[in-house]
Structure 1
Amino acid sequence: MFIENFSQVASPLRRLTREDVDWDWDQKCEEAFQKLRRIVGEEITLKKLDYDKGSGKIKLAVDSSYIAAGEVLTQEDKEGKDRPVLYESITFSKLESKYSQPKLELCGVARILKKLQTILWGQHFELQVDAKALIEMINTPCLPNAPMTRWVAFIQLFSFDLVHKPGKTFTMPDGLSRRPKNSEEEDEDAPEFDEEEDWIKPHPGFGAKNVN
């Protein structure tokens, strides 16, 4: 479990564990305890996606490395805070790991949307990426090969606002994209994503452009 600024928040409580300090549960200790309890109980716990009208904005952050595509799905609460819904990491095959970085980034977004299509289909959301080239590929595609063109066609079936995020603020999806593969995921002969199945045509609305 990761708690941002944990050392600073928990400092009054950690002080009580020292042998040279008398036990004194003061106001600072109580405030630290209540803050940690709130973070663990509300801010870290995964929430269900709320599809009701007027519910908070859905945000999907995606990043890719040569290892995997990582994503963080969140939804704004009534106070405007992003609450985590899902964390995901999809490893690339050895063939995919050799893609150029722009092609890898595009493949990562397509893979993530394929994985999340049952919960994002028909919903408007904010798609966050840190690669500016990816924004251009999706918005004004002029791509060098057929697989990338098909990936963009699939991505454009979803309704989203495409937003660029600086890499230094993209630590969570970046970290998930670098998750080491386990032994079961090492498959030298794994097919490329585009070769697995005819995964575009079965989707209702194929060919409709609804990127904002």
Structure 2
Amino acid sequence: MSPLTQLLRKTTEWEWGSEQEEAFVWAKAWLSRKPVLIYPDYRLPFKLSTDASKTGLGSILSQDQGKGDQPVAYASKVNNPTVAKYNISELECLAVVWAVRLFRPHLYDRKFTIVTDHVALKWLMTTKEPAGRLHRWALTLQEFDFEVVYRPGRENHVADALSRGPVQEGKADSSERGLPRTTPR
């Protein structure tokens, strides 16, 4: 999605090439599969899968309503140059904190599972004296009731794809749900 996202920038000259066409065809095929999204059932637990890369953050909120895990929402975010300099442990923790904040209306006051391909989150929650942003992130996560499950990156396909080809510039808010903005503000 990155080639399409770059076309939305004010400073980018419009050029539709093979990269943009390939990203468009991929997005169209991916979004037309059934089901794209399911309605959440608040009686059932949620699963939050996250991933991070130097390029961006990605997350999927899903539930098993009897047909295996199905997506409730997708989100991705492009990292700014400062965040892109974080080490991978910090990026993975940031992906979780960002996704938990984004999907807070669904997750607050409910037990849920966080699926990540990095053990950094377990480290963050057990470190005795985190400093700076790590301390703020740990405090943010303390209000939630979750379990962390490690899943290797090769098994976390969709969150991995969302983090490496983020679809949105800037910070996603709860009304956008990570979808690309197609009209100027």
- TM-score between both structures, scaled by the size of structure 2: 0.69
RMSD between aligned residues: 2.4
User: Could you tell me which amino acid in structure 2 is paired with residue 70 of structure 1?
Assistant: G
SS of residue in 2 equivalent to 1:2: helix
CA contact (8 A) 1:141 1:152 kept: no
Q: Could you tell me which runs of 5 or more consecutive residues in structure 1 were left unpaired when the two chains were aligned.
A: 4-38, 191-212
CA contact (8 A) 2:77 2:167 kept: no
1:161-192 CA distance string (max 9 Å, x none): 1100012101110110011567xx38xxx9xx
Sort the Cα spacing of 1:48 and 1:180 in 2 relative to 1 into closer, same or farther, 3 A.
closer
CA contact (8 A) 1:72 1:86 kept: yes
- Quick one: percent identity of the two aligned structures? 29
- Alignment partner for residue 96 of structure 1, among 62, 83, 88? 83
CA contact (8 A) 1:67 1:181 kept: no
User: Could you tell me which amino acid in structure 2 is paired with residue 77 of structure 1?
Assistant: Q
User: Could you tell me which amino acid in structure 1 is paired with residue 30 of structure 2?
Assistant: F
1:104-145 CA distance string (max 9 Å, x none): 11112111111111221112111101002332222x124553
- Alignment partner for residue 134 of structure 1, among 108, 115, 121? 121
Q: Does 1:165 align with 2:151?
A: yes
Give me the whole-angstrom Cα distance separating, in 2, the residues matched to 1:88 and 1:61.
Answer: 10
Q: Displacement of 1:2 after TM fit?
A: 3.4
CA contact (8 A) 2:58 2:162 kept: yes
- Alignment partner for residue 2 of structure 1, among 30, 43, 48? 30
- Alignment partner for residue 74 of structure 1, among 51, 54, 62? 62
- Alignment partner for residue 42 of structure 2, among 47, 51, 54? 51
Q: Could you tell me which runs of 5 or more consecutive residues in structure 2 were left unpaired when the two chains were aligned.
A: 1-28, 172-185
User: Could you tell me which amino acid in structure 1 is paired with residue 57 of structure 2?
Assistant: A
Higher radius of gyration, 1 or 2:
1
Give me the whole-angstrom Cα distance separating, in 2, the residues matched to 1:85 and 1:93.
Answer: 26
Indicate the residue corresponding to 2:23 in structure 1. Answer: none
Runs ≥4 in structure 1, deviation > 4 angstroms?
Answer: none
User: Could you tell me which amino acid in structure 2 is paired with residue 93 of structure 1?
Assistant: N
CA contact (8 A) 2:93 2:120 kept: no
| Number of equivalences | 143
**RCO greater where, 1 or 2, for CA within 8 Å and sep 6 or more?**
2
